[in-house]
Structures are given as structure tokens and as C-alpha cells.
Amino acid sequence: MKFSEQLRKKADSIWNASFEHPFVRGVADGSLPIECFTYYVQQDSFYLSRFAQVQAIGAAKALDFHTTSQMAFHAKSTFDAEHMLHEGFAKDLGLEKNSEGHMAEEPAPTAVAYTNHLFSVAYKGSLGEVIAAILPCYWLYWEIGEKYKGSTPEHPVYQKWIDTYGDEWFATLVKEQINRLDDCAKKASAEEKQRMESIFITSSRYEYMFWEMSYTLEKWPV
């Protein structure tokens, strides 16, 4: 069993919880209150601005020029593809960017915690650990896109979201990062692979918490 397959198996219960979360199911069947999706878009815009920076740090940690180039391409793709998708949502939902280039009026506690987790791994860890941190975001969204492909929520914004993550261009990006994780694992020590596993599980938990944050319109308590 490949290292990526081992991690996916260990995260299965967490990912199943994401598949069945009322936010995700609500997008698929069109029942999600639009204010929850609007809040998600705002927070995800903040998250993606940080996610691209972590991808760029990963590019700097690569030991060969090809991997540096590909990781830099992924950072650019986050803006060109996913961020542009959110700009389309912004027009539909009446949102505007702030001076930092994202749409969150104030990043929510979970969004801050998740991105701080990613930055901590990026600055302290190896390339393999960076990939382990960012891969659940790629991979989980791809599986959600595949699971709910064919859904007809009868809401154009929700339909666009489902169609994006079920598209082949996104699958190509995900598979590339899965293969990169396995390549890194082949060269990693047992201790590093343990860290990669722990990081992957933590990011998977944050993905679930991101749905919950959006569904409950999470705010700072004080």
C-alpha cells in the first residue's frame, strides 16, 4: 500500500464526516442557507491567500528545479483557478475584496488556526511535511466533487462549486500532489513519515472544522 493510501485510510472517518456535513450536503441538494455559503466564500478567500503562500514556501524547500517549478505553478494556479472562482462568487453574492486581497471582513477562529497550522509546518518542516499539510484540501475537495457529481442543487452558485471540484483539470492537480507525497515518503525517515501522518490528520480535521465554521457562521467569542 502506498503511503498516500495509508494516510487516506487512517483519515477515512474524518473525511466521511466531511462528506456528510450539513454544509456539504446542503450545497449538493441546494438546501444550504445562502448566508452560510457567503460566509464560506469570505473565509475561504482568506484561507486561499495563505494557502498559496504555503505552496510557494514548499517550492523553496524543493531540492530539484522541476519540483520547485511545479510547486510554484500550484501557487499560481490557486490564484488563477480557485481564487478566480471565488471572484465569480463575489460578483454573484455582492462581496468585495479588502486591502489584503481577500474578502473576509475578519478571519474566523478556525480559518486563523488552520492557516497558522499550515505556516507552522511550512516554516519548520520538510517538503514532504508541507505536502502532507496541504494535500487534504486538494484531495478532499476532489472526492467531494466526485461524490456529488451529477447533483442538481438548482442554485447556480452551488452548481458552479460542485462542477469545479469534479472537473478533470482539478483531478490532475490532485493526483500530481498525491504522487509527490509518495515520492517524498520514499526518501523520508520513519520519524518524518510519522510527522507527515500526524500533519495530514490534523489538516483533515481542520477541513471538517472549516465546514462547521461556515455552517455556524463562527465568530470570535470576545
Separation between Cα atoms, residue 28 and residue 154, nearest integer Å: 9
Residue 186 in grid coordinates: 520514499
Q: Spot the catalytic one: 36, 129, 184, 207.
A: 207
Separation between Cα atoms, residue 117 and residue 133, nearest integer Å: 8
**Which residues does 42 contact at the CB level (< 8 Å), separation at least 6?**
95, 102, 103, 104, 105
The single-letter DSSP state of residue 99 is: T
Q: Spot the catalytic one: 36, 129, 137, 184.
A: 137
**Which residues does 39 contact at the CB level (< 8 Å), separation at least 6?**
214, 217
Q: Establish whether 191 is a catalytic residue.
A: no
The single-letter DSSP state of residue 83 is: I
Q: Establish whether 207 is a catalytic residue.
A: yes
Half-sphere exposure of 205 (CA within 13 A, CB side): 9
Q: Active-site residue numbers?
A: 137, 207
